[in-house]
Amino acid sequence: MKLSQASMKWRNKLKLRWRGGMSLVLAASFALITACGSTADSGTGTGSDATAANGSGSAPSSPVEIEFWYGLGGNLGDNMKKTIDAFNASQNEVVVKGIVQADY
């Protein structure tokens, strides 16, 4: 039995609505599942964890040196270098050493 053109249009609309509705349900389910995931330790501490592991609450005797790798060249690389220099000049506790990795 052949379907009339009107019933075929209605059937196609119904399929489209069903697919759209199922897509919405799946997206909402995925969001709910990921939001209610495991409560495993995320690695964030209160600050007392770090001092307890360090053994004392005092600051280090020399500045902490950090190597900051970046892959920028040209004007962007110059701006990054200026930003690093400005940060280093603004305080004495941390020294950032900018290392260009433009050739990776």
Say if CB 67 and CB 97 are below 8 A apart.
yes
pTM recorded for the entire structure: 0.44
Give residue 59's Cα distance to chain centre. 30
Closest CA to 99 of 62, 74, 72: 72
pLDDT tens, residue by residue, 50-80:
555 555 667 778 999 999 999 988 899 999 9
Domain layout of the chain by residue ranges? 1-35, 62-104
Alpha helices, H only, 36-73: 48-54
Say if CB 77 and CB 103 are below 8 A apart.
no
Residue type, 46: T
Residue 43 pLDDT grade (very low, low, confident, very high; cuts 50, 70, 90):
low
